[in-house]
Structure 1
């Protein structure tokens, strides 16, 4: 890349960085969710957002708007040759859109791993041969001069030992981890960041020039269980999992890695939520997880058995390689030792699956939240008698929705790898969490929302929260105690930052328990849990307005199962 081209590349990425800050500040001041993709790619949406930002009468936002506009104008002025104003008569805005799209492409290609190369392992996986194969479509978005093709027999570039190796879940490792790694390396000042395809589709390496060296980070996504076997064998420095570590795995790793359930080791990096969809003419509005098991295993084959019309049930499922299928299998079928019916239509595309269900009056399928489209969204309950809840980013964030699950990084605390630790820390930042959201998962960045049903709560709480908004976090606790779990510890700092930005709003805390044991003891335990969060916030300079314990009322699930008890043991956070 020529010095001039490099300058433009840097300048474009700088504009995208401004747009990312615009998104973040607007979400804070305008109280609305803003998709980064729309800000980058849709000029009309971006222009409207800039106008709204100016109307907020916030000095920081106003300055950012003018910075963005000046950078847009400067890019147009610095890069057009004059030809674009001749016969075609492009407008200033269409030219600006082209260059912002190129800027977005420059950054998103880096962040998405679109620049693909091949690598082969040497020296037991510690040295990689990097083939200099460049896709000219990608090159043109960054530099109009195409890079030379790789010539067989030319010298290889040896990357040496990886900065760290992260192994485990395909749900986490297929898209999320590569994107996080690319953004992390960019934050460290790396250049020429590329995602290299490995020997299989589930093996990748992200390479970059960093401090004068070509470095790489290895990503193997062969399944959650491999996170713990590879940590035990010393073939990975960081594990990724779409489920919590099992007790047997924790015990096996104690001597080598320390207790991986402790706060320094167990890191929640995002949440995953599944939407169950049917045709809009289906009269049913809710289903329980036991009913889903019977439907998708083929035990129930007609909607009339569920109170619907006399219609055969047609099953639609994602293909075997899909992370969405992995989520459904893990959350619905495997806990009941059930298998997907052979009659299910397996579909590779999320969009095609959703549209197929929308056209089939007997259809039912599962999909990621962004792909509901024209289908009907079903409310889901943990059991037939539990509260049925519609899936939204908010109900997944609070983990009220029964088909929500946490996604994890596990970092050993013995012989810790400093680069892996820095990466995990970056993943938890607001910027790292925005990447979680941009690929379709649910981030931990705090948002406000309304409860799924106000009548769900007791009168005392409804009175206290009449003018309040609920925040998208629930504090949960270790089994049978008032000690916060690892997500709760991280969420304390997020909550403090949120309250500081939104001052003078005040926090309200409401504790709940499961229904096992004595009712009076459960009421006392729910109060202690609310007070634990209160004291942690006070220690950080935040003084809650209310901290109440409400006991076993307003259960989200049946307390007969461990999963249900865990859902019910919580402290909800409201803001007034």
Structure 2
């Protein structure tokens, strides 16, 4: 009876929607000690688990614990893992094929690539010695919209997304029994990108206020002379309305306001980049990863601080418009090969592939305090009664000799919920602790806030957030030795701003928890 109860529990935990055996046939699964058995119709087998329709309902059983008999039993040696990724070309055009190829090489598998029609490409991974087909990965390029639609329609197993799902996409996924796609365990950050404004190389405007950029994109400013540029009309260049990054940009920058009338739409970021480079009056909004011929414009706040999208500022989210690239998975068990592929994507080997493909990787970098002179200079220049110089001396005393890790934690709209990239940072930092990468060292979780409110209140808020992040990392690192690494907390409130608080985006990126290594 314990066997059947365990099977029922597994069935509740793992809903398998994988390719079923065709046709489905009867099987009997017997425990290896012969004490218990269950019979039914084999619904699917993923190389690791059987899913059987029985008199008790659908049950999921670990193949290592049972012996299968009957006409429906699969050939364990001939099993092929099959799964399909669908969605954004930002991921699927170059990056995912490169990652599949690298994963195949790492496992010593032969890779062949064929077009299967209807926008689907099949990657077949075979054993080099015997030619046995091990896995077949489908890759369908369309849009982030289409990726989520394919998942709901059971035409895909993994979504390639250049944005987080919209409310209606979350609702449809829940209704289809795919789980809550907004949960961190359903979301896998593969690489980082950013939304950046670009102009032609010789354009006289050297930087843009955020408010002015939004006004240009909306068409509220239509002539460059309003920004001390030439007396000439502005031509706006955007990605297609169904492009995931364009949708993310519209939501974060434009809200419900439509873009400027007459804005030119481009099918992809590289095409937009070339078009803006040829347009002396153009302003484009595109991907950092696709910026080649055009020139990125720095963003400035009301206090004059400049922010440029670089590898470092994208990793730390010190640049305000970071755009992670995601894979979304349903709340059902994927084939073992697919799960191993998802794990591989977080490895240093895979992240080197990400970097070579032109994106920002997820690997942690270190930034010594001495390389952060601009931030310290800004803090000293704005020191006053709320943040006296004595507080800045305390900051330097605590952080002197330490290095800032690019793993930074930020919160959605100033709330206590971490954003998507920060959730990924929690998992990555926990893995590093479990691997012993910081043994014998001290990690300091340092909380900062915006300048709204009293300094004493801000320091308390900053400490609360720093403690919450430290506790989340500690709870996730279940296999780490708690005595091997000291986890400390410090809080400085508004003492070290990255941007100006005069704007909403400035306050948002100032509210953060940094991680320093000593």
TM-score, normalized by length of structure 1? Answer: 0.60
List aligned pairs for 1:1-40, cutoff 5 A.
Answer: none
In structure 1, the residue matched to 2:152 is 232
Cα deviation for residue 445 of structure 1 reads 0.8
List aligned pairs for 1:77-226, cutoff 5 A.
Answer: 163-194=82-113, 196=115, 198-200=117-119, 203-210=120-127, 212-213=132-133, 215-226=135-146
- Contact 1:274 1:404 survives alignment (8 Å): yes
Between Structure 1 and Structure 2, the one with more helix by share is 1
Cα deviation for residue 439 of structure 1 reads 1.2
The change in CA–CA distance for 1:297 and 1:345 in structure 2 (over 3 A counts) is same
- Contact 2:80 2:134 survives alignment (8 Å): no
Cα deviation for residue 396 of structure 1 reads 0.8
Distance in structure 2 (CA, Å) of the matches to 1:301 and 1:225: 31
Q: RMSD over aligned Cα, in angstroms? A: 4.2
The change in CA–CA distance for 1:386 and 1:324 in structure 2 (over 3 A counts) is farther
In structure 2, the residue matched to 1:293 is 214
Ranked by relative contact order (alpha carbons within 8 Å, sequence separation 6 or more), the top structure is 2
1:509 aligned counterpart, secondary structure: strand
- Contact 1:288 1:384 survives alignment (8 Å): yes
The change in CA–CA distance for 1:413 and 1:189 in structure 2 (over 3 A counts) is farther
Distance in structure 2 (CA, Å) of the matches to 1:495 and 1:291: 42
Select which of 473, 492, 495 maps to 2:407.
473
Cα deviation for residue 505 of structure 1 reads 5.9
Matched, 1:510 2:430: no
- Contact 1:240 1:409 survives alignment (8 Å): yes
Question: Matched residue pairs, number?
Answer: 412
Cα deviation for residue 370 of structure 1 reads 5.8
Distance in structure 2 (CA, Å) of the matches to 1:341 and 1:393: 33
2:189 aligned counterpart, secondary structure: strand
- Contact 2:200 2:295 survives alignment (8 Å): yes
The change in CA–CA distance for 1:565 and 1:341 in structure 2 (over 3 A counts) is same
2:152 aligned counterpart, secondary structure: helix
Distance in structure 2 (CA, Å) of the matches to 1:231 and 1:312: 47
Cα deviation for residue 550 of structure 1 reads 2.8
Between Structure 1 and Structure 2, the one with more strand by share is 2
Distance in structure 2 (CA, Å) of the matches to 1:443 and 1:393: 8
- Out of 470-479 and 491-500, give the one that drifted further: 491-500
- Contact 1:474 1:570 survives alignment (8 Å): yes
- Contact 1:167 1:226 survives alignment (8 Å): yes
Distance in structure 2 (CA, Å) of the matches to 1:300 and 1:471: 40
Distance in structure 2 (CA, Å) of the matches to 1:212 and 1:176: 26
Matched, 1:418 2:339: no
Select which of 449, 456, 460 maps to 1:524.
460
Cα deviation for residue 496 of structure 1 reads 3.5
- Contact 2:193 2:323 survives alignment (8 Å): yes
Distance in structure 1 (CA, Å) of the matches to 2:325 and 2:160: 8
Matched, 1:434 2:352: yes
- Contact 2:198 2:294 survives alignment (8 Å): yes
Cα deviation for residue 546 of structure 1 reads 4.8
Select which of 337, 356, 366 maps to 2:257.
337
Cα deviation for residue 272 of structure 1 reads 0.9
Select which of 282, 298, 307 maps to 1:389.
307
Cα deviation for residue 175 of structure 1 reads 1.9
1:550 aligned counterpart, secondary structure: strand
TM-score, normalized by length of structure 2? Answer: 0.66
- Out of 550-559 and 282-291, give the one that drifted further: 550-559
Question: What are the ranges of 5 or more consecutive residues in structure 1 without an aligned counterpart?
Answer: 1-122, 124-158
Distance in structure 1 (CA, Å) of the matches to 2:168 and 2:285: 31
